Each structure stands twice: as structure tokens, then as C-alpha cells.
Amino acid sequence: MDRDAGLLCGLGLAICFEVIIFGLLIISGLNGYLSDGITMPDSFEEQGDIIWTHLGTILQSARMDYQDLVSLRTYLADPQDDEANVRLRVKYLGDHQPSLTVVCCQLLDPKWKLEIEAMAAK
């Protein structure tokens, strides 16, 4: 079994875990903290850009890229941010369309505007 955990070392994120099993990369708990693990901007767009940048870093560490994403689950704290969420997704994915689920709910920390889980495969 091909298995590698802890690919995110050095980004300093408080809640994130990823594992590769048989070529499937599973990523959970990405939020909008900067790499210091403490600082989080207030705006949805800034948090989203940080999350997508962290996601790109994780994918690269697994020798993958955004085009290898097969599934995304986004948790939004406010449904009014859905249009901004779509713009961010298109910014990073272009016309690539993995399976998508968007859930509107209260997140763990009131500062969080969104959180993303992802799966990628080679």
C-alpha cells in the first residue's frame, strides 16, 4: 500500500490532514490561516485565496495539480458568499469540473468564512 501522511508540514495549519492511499490523495480541514497558523484575514476572498494556495502546495507535494482534483466539498459560513466561492473555484480550476458539494453551516471558529475538503487522484 502506497501511504504517505503529513505532506503539509511547514504550512503551520491547525486543522488539516492528508493521506495518499493507492494514488488517492485525501485532504481535509483546509481553512484560511496564513502559514504562521495564527493570522487569518477577515475577507472571504482572502481566506479563499489562502485555502486554494495551500491546496496547490499540498497537491504539488504529492506530484499532482488542480487538474487531478476529483472531488471538492466546501463549507460556507454564509450562503451569500456562494458567488464569490464560484469565482474562486473558476480562478483556480478554469474549466476543470470535479464533483462538487457546497454546504452552508456554522463553522468551528466564527472568523472562518469557508473550509474545504478535497480528493485528488493520479
pLDDT per position as a tens digit, 49-106: 999 999 999 999 889 999 999 999 999 999 999 999 999 999 999 999 999 999 999 9
Q: Which three cell numbers stand for residue 16?
A: 488539516
Mean pLDDT of 13-28: 69
Q: Domain with 50 in it: what CATH number?
A: 3.30.1330.40
Query: Total structural domains in the chain?
Result: 1
Global confidence as pTM: 0.85
Tens digit of each residue's pLDDT (9 = 90 or more) over 53-68: 999 999 998 899 999 9
Range of the domain at 45: 3-73+81-121
Q: State the average pLDDT for the chain.
A: 86
Contact yes or no for 24/12 (Cβ under 8 A)? no
pLDDT score at 28: 86
